[in-house]
Amino acid sequence: MPRRVRRPLALLVAPALLIPALAACGSDDADSGAGLEAVEVTGAVGEPPQVTWGDDFSATADPEVETVVAGDGPELAADGDALVHYWIGNGYDESEALSTYTSLPEVVDLADEQLTEVFSTALEGATVGSRIAASVVAEEVVGPSGNSQLGISNADPLLLVFDVLGPDSVDEPYAEEGTGFAPDLVLDEDGKPESMRFKDRPRPTGRLQVQVVVEGDGEVVKKSDVVMVDYLGSVYAKPKPFDGSYDGDPLVQSLSGLVPGWQEALAGKTVGSRVWMALPPRFGYGASGNEGAGIKGTDTIYFLVDILARAPKPVQPEPEETEEPQEPEQPQQSGSSQPSPSADASESPLDDES
């Protein structure tokens, strides 16, 4: 099954005994100087922020928060999820300490009582499409020992930038009776899909079939995008689904890393849409199927998908500068093969294994 791992601040929070304390590098006079007034944050929401540091940037224990760009999407629910990119800079040496923009955005549970205060303060009441800046003394985020892995001392002033990318809910209730090629749905007591019924519904055609039953008014999804979705997946004529997220955490994944049918079905659709798809083997897992999910190489698989958010393709980190290698005195022998790129170690029934 897809692993929907919540990992906000995973690199920031660590057992204090495992990380040696750093000597306090920042100023002892944390209340002097200016906070957010001393920095300028520019750039488009969803892309890495451009930060111009002022000479007197400082921070206090209580987070200072400012909305840089106000989004026009829905307001985040206080007890719901938020899909965010975030960037953390160390004001002591004006360096980037941590950024999610080179990987997937993260799903933050706003109802989690253990959520770091600066996260909850910045995201509470925010609207989708917003960029928010916050400043806080590092100890409030990483604890009294600092974080040597990130080069953060407990006294350093931190600048945090949050881009709120989703979710945008699909407000239409789920229809129990299927239309077109779609099977019927079985709903749980909360009205969420828990299984599909194929009796008396059309048989698979052997072709990719896609049906939009709710059309959202959000941004258009591109094949290069990261998507946040809720979904239910079932093999044709089998009573039990092989996977789903309606009773758990949404899936956040690069669309290009999913099976071909998802790429074809979701590219060009809008955030807030609900989509049915029927995938013959060549658009799913091919002739090998997916043994772990109980899918044979001849099975047609059906998915119901709610598109909750999209994010741009992760940016590629700039290569580190290295010294120019000196020319060897003698030509080297050729013939050794170059290593091939390693595959992603994580497995998911939605990953493209064809």
Q: Which amino acid is at 141?
A: V
The predicted pLDDT at position 324 comes to: 57
Say which CATH number the domain at 162 has: 3.10.50.40
DSSP H helical ranges for 124-230: 139-142
Asked whether residue 36 is assigned to any structural domain, the reply reads yes
The predicted pLDDT at position 316 comes to: 77
26 and 138 part of one domain: yes
CA dist 38 and 135 (Å) reads 11
195 and 156 part of one domain: no
Asked whether residue 27 is assigned to any structural domain, the reply reads yes
CA dist 308 and 86 (Å) reads 19
Asked whether residue 3 is assigned to any structural domain, the reply reads no
Asked whether residue 121 is assigned to any structural domain, the reply reads yes
141 and 255 part of one domain: no
Asked whether residue 112 is assigned to any structural domain, the reply reads yes
Name the domain count of the chain.
2
Residue 85: other Cβ atoms inside 10 A = 27
Name the domain boundary from 120, 137, 166. Answer: 166
256 and 292 part of one domain: yes
CA dist 269 and 222 (Å) reads 8
192 and 118 part of one domain: no
Asked whether residue 326 is assigned to any structural domain, the reply reads no
CA dist 208 and 277 (Å) reads 7
The predicted pLDDT at position 332 comes to: 38
Asked whether residue 92 is assigned to any structural domain, the reply reads yes
Asked whether residue 328 is assigned to any structural domain, the reply reads no
245 and 140 part of one domain: no
Per-residue pLDDT of the chain (354 residues; tens, 9 = 90+): 343 444 445 555 433 222 333 333 444 444 445 789 999 999 999 999 999 999 899 999 999 999 999 999 999 999 999 999 999 999 999 999 999 999 999 999 999 999 999 999 999 999 999 999 999 999 999 999 999 999 999 999 999 999 999 999 898 999 999 999 999 999 999 999 999 999 999 999 999 999 999 999 999 999 999 999 999 999 999 999 999 999 999 999 999 999 999 999 999 999 999 999 999 999 999 999 999 999 999 999 999 999 999 999 998 766 656 555 555 444 333 333 323 233 333 345 566 544
Within 8 A by CB and 6+ apart from 258, the residues are 350, 351, 352
- Assess contact for 303 and 208: CB atoms under 8 A: no
Name the domain boundary from 279, 296, 311. Answer: 311
138 and 231 part of one domain: no
114 and 224 part of one domain: no
Residue ranges making up the domain that contains 152: 16-166
CA dist 160 and 51 (Å) reads 10
118 and 189 part of one domain: no
Name the domain boundary from 166, 195, 218. Answer: 166
150 and 20 part of one domain: yes
The predicted pLDDT at position 26 comes to: 44
The residue written with tokens 């800079």 in the block is 89
Reported pTM: 0.82
134 and 195 part of one domain: no
The predicted pLDDT at position 55 comes to: 87
218 and 130 part of one domain: no
